[in-house]
Structure 1
């Protein structure tokens, strides 16, 4: 018998999905075909957050029960509608895949990519981030500490002239981000984020830490500012995660922090589409709220 193949039509492109019945999330009986269908259905919400950005792909050819791998370089067999972007580094040059359209997103999912990690830079200025990112990563399952940290950032960032947004990570924590004018390089944005993290830790050192050493964190929340460095990535809005139940990283409204049922894995690939139908994407106009990080840095220094 030949290998099972399903063909999808996406934006005028025919995409062959081999082994659509292969279980990628075995406990939940979520197949490769179901995952590809998920990305096809959310592409209209997700692609705007990927367009123009170098992508690191987290692939699991045998499902999450086996070891996956990270893939930065676009493969030669990728079709032309999966755009390429050459990025220079200390070790040479890497040609990344870019998902500028729904067909590209669906094709990459058909290649066993479960998780999409874009950079916070765009193709026209690869050294100038358009987002500053703070990752609140808990050391235990006490989500109340993560909520508290997000609320502190919600209050601090507007005081610095920035407009904060928040999303669940689909894993354990929350990402708080602010759109910014592309006036500082990655080092400058990372340094600003480091000072924000320092401020948060100084505000409540019993709950928060900047210690990279996991053993030294205890039960504190790691305030990770390192997502802003050169070639660093963060999980994309509406990307699935490679952990049981197929949770999804989901942008939320600030009022949703008060929901007692909220946690980082509240939504998964089988229930997030209903949310999108009802509410749309809370981040759909995020970049219209970009502000000057240079000005924010001066204000932060005075606090």
Structure 2
């Protein structure tokens, strides 16, 4: 068996220079968070958001597994929708060592598919990304509750996560009975109906200058070969906030912030809660209702 050793280079490079957070700290974070993060990323193709310097210097997205990756890093071939057709070899973050290898690559945020590698045409997650037009997080929290009510009315169980950026993801676990195209069509219709019934606060308008102060119901992440930010992924923003699953009732908390927990503080939250609030999310999976 090949030893799974990750050689960490430039451990003292500051990825978040404003906070003194180094590459070593990112590496150690992925090692420490692996137990709760892996169930949410395992077997899902990864699109790597990488930074060769600091997050302040800007980064880039990379789908294809880098050359020289260890042979123990699992990958999956994802068809490209091009002519002529081809494939992309995505990393699968299936274990602690691979998460730490991603840190060695300067990957701050591993974005993942809503499908798993064994059935790339059958999503098991439905995601609504609530994107505020202005800094009004109370409106985002209200929008999340409206989406949750809509999901429940459709027979789906909603889960909420602050993204570590500006918004909230409302996620429903799915049984893998419908294709990606079916799921995307369903959620687009769902969002349009929800926005029509709450047109003072919600919108599906893509163009920002037409949204006014309304919250954008972004469902594009449910499309073919699209990705989402998974739970516990760090974000390339000041203080290294992480995407953090919530207990649903936390949406009622006026003090809730989308970037409330960071790479350095998330462990204390997990200790206080006694573990991951989403640890049983798969048990709530339901079949997507017919249109």
TM-score bracket, shorter-length normalisation: over 0.9
Partner SS for 1:222:
strand
Matched, 1:251 2:245: yes
Q: Which residue of 2 aligns with 1:297?
A: 290
Matched, 1:136 2:130: yes
C-alpha contact 2:138 2:254 (8 A) present in aligned 1: no
Equivalent position to 2:200, from 188, 206, 215: 206
Matched, 1:41 2:32: yes
Write out per-residue CA displacement over residues 135-166 of structure 1, whole angstroms, 9 at most, x where no aligned residue. 10111110011111111122221121111111
1:82 Cα offset (Å): 1.5
- Aligned-residue Cα RMSD (Å) equals 1.3
1:61 Cα offset (Å): 1.1
Q: Which residue of 1 aligns with 2:56?
A: 65
How many pairs align?
286
- TM-score, structure 1 normalization: 0.92
Write out per-residue CA displacement over residues 245-271 of structure 1, whole angstroms, 9 at most, x where no aligned residue. 111000001111122210110111111
Matched, 1:194 2:188: yes
C-alpha distance in 2 between matches for 1:213 and 1:154: 24
Q: Which residue of 2 aligns with 1:285?
A: 280
Partner SS for 2:57:
coil
C-alpha contact 2:137 2:257 (8 A) present in aligned 1: yes
C-alpha distance in 2 between matches for 1:158 and 1:209: 20
Q: Which residue of 2 aligns with 1:7?
A: none
Deviates more, 1:191-200 or 1:141-150: 191-200
C-alpha distance in 2 between matches for 1:129 and 1:216: 31
Equivalent position to 2:120, from 107, 122, 126: 126
Matched, 1:84 2:71: no
1:49 Cα offset (Å): 0.8
1:22 Cα offset (Å): 0.6
- TM-score, structure 2 normalization: 0.95
Matched, 1:113 2:107: yes
Partner SS for 2:170:
strand
Partner SS for 1:178:
strand
C-alpha contact 1:81 1:103 (8 A) present in aligned 2: no
Matched, 1:218 2:218: no
Q: Which residue of 2 aligns with 1:6?
A: none
Equivalent position to 1:268, from 262, 270, 287: 262
1:77 Cα offset (Å): 1.1
Q: Which residue of 2 aligns with 1:18?
A: 9
The runs of at least 4 consecutive aligned structure 1 residues that moved more than 2 Å come to: none
C-alpha distance in 2 between matches for 1:260 and 1:67: 33
C-alpha distance in 1 between matches for 2:223 and 2:253: 32
C-alpha distance in 2 between matches for 1:56 and 1:83: 14
1:76 Cα offset (Å): 2.5
Partner SS for 1:18:
coil
1:13 Cα offset (Å): 2.7
C-alpha distance in 1 between matches for 2:290 and 2:17: 47
